[in-house]
Amino acid sequence: MNTIARLLMIAVLALPLAACNQAEDAPKATEKVPISAPTDDDAAAWRVYVPDVVNRHMDGVTSAPFVYLLPSEASDDFQGSYDRLLDKARSDVSRGILKGNMLAYASPNSAKTADLIVAAFADVKPGKLKGVKLLFIGKAEDSDRVKAAVEASGVNYVFVEAK
Protein backbone atom coordinates (compact mmCIF):
# COMPACT_ATOMS: atom_id res chain seq x y z
CA MET A 1 0.00 0.00 0.00
CA ASN A 2 2.89 2.33 0.88
CA THR A 3 4.46 1.70 -2.52
CA ILE A 4 1.27 2.63 -4.35
CA ALA A 5 0.97 5.89 -2.40
CA ARG A 6 4.60 6.75 -3.20
CA LEU A 7 4.10 6.03 -6.90
CA LEU A 8 0.98 8.20 -6.99
CA MET A 9 2.84 11.03 -5.21
CA ILE A 10 5.70 10.81 -7.73
CA ALA A 11 3.22 10.86 -10.64
CA VAL A 12 1.41 13.90 -9.24
CA LEU A 13 4.69 15.79 -8.74
CA ALA A 14 6.08 14.79 -12.15
CA LEU A 15 2.98 15.80 -14.14
CA PRO A 16 3.52 19.60 -13.97
CA LEU A 17 7.16 19.17 -14.98
CA ALA A 18 6.16 17.10 -17.97
CA ALA A 19 3.64 19.75 -19.01
CA CYS A 20 6.30 22.48 -18.78
CA ASN A 21 8.61 20.53 -21.04
CA GLN A 22 5.85 20.01 -23.61
CA ALA A 23 5.17 23.75 -23.77
CA GLU A 24 8.85 24.41 -24.43
CA ASP A 25 8.93 21.74 -27.14
CA ALA A 26 5.86 23.16 -28.90
CA PRO A 27 6.62 24.71 -32.28
CA LYS A 28 7.03 28.46 -32.20
CA ALA A 29 4.56 30.54 -34.19
CA THR A 30 6.20 31.97 -37.26
CA GLU A 31 5.51 35.52 -38.35
CA LYS A 32 3.70 35.83 -41.67
CA VAL A 33 5.69 37.36 -44.48
CA PRO A 34 4.20 40.72 -45.52
CA ILE A 35 2.25 40.70 -48.76
CA SER A 36 3.83 42.82 -51.48
CA ALA A 37 1.90 45.78 -52.81
CA PRO A 38 0.11 45.09 -56.08
CA THR A 39 1.94 46.55 -59.06
CA ASP A 40 -1.25 47.12 -61.03
CA ASP A 41 -4.87 48.16 -60.53
CA ASP A 42 -6.12 44.63 -59.74
CA ALA A 43 -8.93 45.23 -57.25
CA ALA A 44 -8.77 41.69 -55.84
CA ALA A 45 -5.05 42.02 -55.13
CA TRP A 46 -5.62 45.35 -53.35
CA ARG A 47 -8.41 43.78 -51.24
CA VAL A 48 -5.85 41.20 -50.03
CA TYR A 49 -2.94 43.63 -49.60
CA VAL A 50 -4.68 46.40 -47.63
CA PRO A 51 -5.98 44.22 -44.75
CA ASP A 52 -2.50 42.68 -44.42
CA VAL A 53 -0.94 46.13 -44.00
CA VAL A 54 -3.70 47.30 -41.66
CA ASN A 55 -3.30 44.21 -39.45
CA ARG A 56 0.44 44.87 -39.15
CA HIS A 57 -0.26 48.36 -37.78
CA MET A 58 -2.98 47.54 -35.23
CA ASP A 59 -0.77 48.17 -32.19
CA GLY A 60 -2.62 50.56 -29.90
CA VAL A 61 -5.89 50.11 -31.82
CA THR A 62 -8.74 48.78 -29.69
CA SER A 63 -11.57 48.56 -32.25
CA ALA A 64 -12.11 47.40 -35.81
CA PRO A 65 -10.47 49.89 -38.18
CA PHE A 66 -12.32 52.16 -40.62
CA VAL A 67 -10.86 51.15 -44.01
CA TYR A 68 -11.35 53.38 -47.05
CA LEU A 69 -10.22 51.55 -50.20
CA LEU A 70 -10.63 53.70 -53.29
CA PRO A 71 -10.79 51.71 -56.55
CA SER A 72 -8.63 52.38 -59.59
CA GLU A 73 -9.55 55.26 -61.88
CA ALA A 74 -9.98 52.65 -64.62
CA SER A 75 -12.88 51.03 -62.73
CA ASP A 76 -16.49 51.53 -63.73
CA ASP A 77 -18.05 54.59 -62.05
CA PHE A 78 -14.80 55.71 -60.44
CA GLN A 79 -16.12 59.23 -59.83
CA GLY A 80 -19.24 57.87 -58.15
CA SER A 81 -17.12 55.62 -55.93
CA TYR A 82 -14.83 58.52 -55.09
CA ASP A 83 -17.76 60.81 -54.21
CA ARG A 84 -19.45 58.18 -52.01
CA LEU A 85 -16.21 57.36 -50.21
CA LEU A 86 -15.48 61.06 -49.67
CA ASP A 87 -18.97 61.59 -48.20
CA LYS A 88 -18.45 58.65 -45.85
CA ALA A 89 -14.96 59.80 -44.81
CA ARG A 90 -16.19 63.37 -44.19
CA SER A 91 -19.15 62.11 -42.19
CA ASP A 92 -16.98 59.80 -40.08
CA VAL A 93 -14.36 62.41 -39.18
CA SER A 94 -16.87 65.22 -38.68
CA ARG A 95 -18.88 63.28 -36.10
CA GLY A 96 -15.64 62.14 -34.44
CA ILE A 97 -13.79 58.89 -34.03
CA LEU A 98 -13.09 57.51 -30.57
CA LYS A 99 -9.56 57.25 -29.23
CA GLY A 100 -8.03 53.86 -30.00
CA ASN A 101 -9.54 53.56 -33.47
CA MET A 102 -7.81 53.55 -36.84
CA LEU A 103 -8.62 55.21 -40.14
CA ALA A 104 -6.86 53.45 -43.05
CA TYR A 105 -6.79 54.91 -46.57
CA ALA A 106 -5.45 53.14 -49.67
CA SER A 107 -5.86 52.93 -53.43
CA PRO A 108 -3.99 51.98 -56.58
CA ASN A 109 -4.04 55.76 -57.21
CA SER A 110 -2.12 57.33 -54.33
CA ALA A 111 -2.70 60.93 -55.48
CA LYS A 112 -6.49 60.52 -55.57
CA THR A 113 -6.41 58.92 -52.12
CA ALA A 114 -4.39 61.86 -50.85
CA ASP A 115 -6.97 64.23 -52.41
CA LEU A 116 -9.73 62.32 -50.62
CA ILE A 117 -7.98 62.56 -47.23
CA VAL A 118 -7.21 66.26 -47.64
CA ALA A 119 -10.84 66.97 -48.56
CA ALA A 120 -12.21 64.81 -45.72
CA PHE A 121 -10.08 66.62 -43.13
CA ALA A 122 -10.61 70.15 -44.47
CA ASP A 123 -13.14 71.15 -41.79
CA VAL A 124 -12.02 68.98 -38.85
CA LYS A 125 -11.46 70.98 -35.66
CA PRO A 126 -7.96 70.94 -34.17
CA GLY A 127 -7.42 68.11 -31.71
CA LYS A 128 -10.78 66.47 -32.47
CA LEU A 129 -9.22 63.10 -33.38
CA LYS A 130 -6.54 62.89 -30.71
CA GLY A 131 -5.66 59.27 -29.98
CA VAL A 132 -6.86 58.03 -33.39
CA LYS A 133 -4.37 56.38 -35.73
CA LEU A 134 -4.47 57.35 -39.40
CA LEU A 135 -2.76 54.94 -41.79
CA PHE A 136 -2.06 56.16 -45.31
CA ILE A 137 -0.92 53.51 -47.78
CA GLY A 138 0.41 55.27 -50.84
CA LYS A 139 3.39 56.88 -52.52
CA ALA A 140 6.04 58.89 -50.70
CA GLU A 141 5.41 61.99 -52.80
CA ASP A 142 1.83 62.19 -51.43
CA SER A 143 2.72 61.58 -47.78
CA ASP A 144 3.77 65.14 -46.83
CA ARG A 145 0.57 66.60 -48.28
CA VAL A 146 -1.58 64.15 -46.32
CA LYS A 147 0.42 64.65 -43.12
CA ALA A 148 0.01 68.43 -43.36
CA ALA A 149 -3.74 68.07 -43.89
CA VAL A 150 -4.35 65.77 -40.90
CA GLU A 151 -1.81 67.04 -38.36
CA ALA A 152 -4.05 69.64 -36.73
CA SER A 153 -6.76 67.03 -36.05
CA GLY A 154 -4.44 65.31 -33.55
CA VAL A 155 -4.28 61.92 -35.29
CA ASN A 156 -1.26 59.68 -34.99
CA TYR A 157 -0.17 59.71 -38.66
CA VAL A 158 1.43 56.55 -40.05
CA PHE A 159 2.63 56.24 -43.64
CA VAL A 160 3.26 52.95 -45.44
CA GLU A 161 4.75 53.14 -48.90
CA ALA A 162 3.01 50.91 -51.43
CA LYS A 163 6.03 49.91 -53.47
How far does CA 136 lie from the centroid of its chain?
Answer: 10
* Within a domain: 154: yes
* Within a domain: 92: yes
* Within a domain: 2: no
* Within a domain: 56: yes
118 and 94 Cβ atoms separated by less than 8 Å = no
29-43 tens-digit pLDDT: 566 788 888 888 888
What pLDDT shows up at residue 7? 46
Compute the mean pLDDT over every residue in the chain, rounded to the nearest whole number.
85
Residue 116: which residues within 8 A CB-CB, separation 6 or more?
Answer: 68, 70, 82, 85, 86, 89, 105
Domain that holds residue 80: 43-161
121-160 tens-digit pLDDT: 999 999 999 999 999 999 999 999 999 999 999 999 999 9
Number of domains in the chain: 1
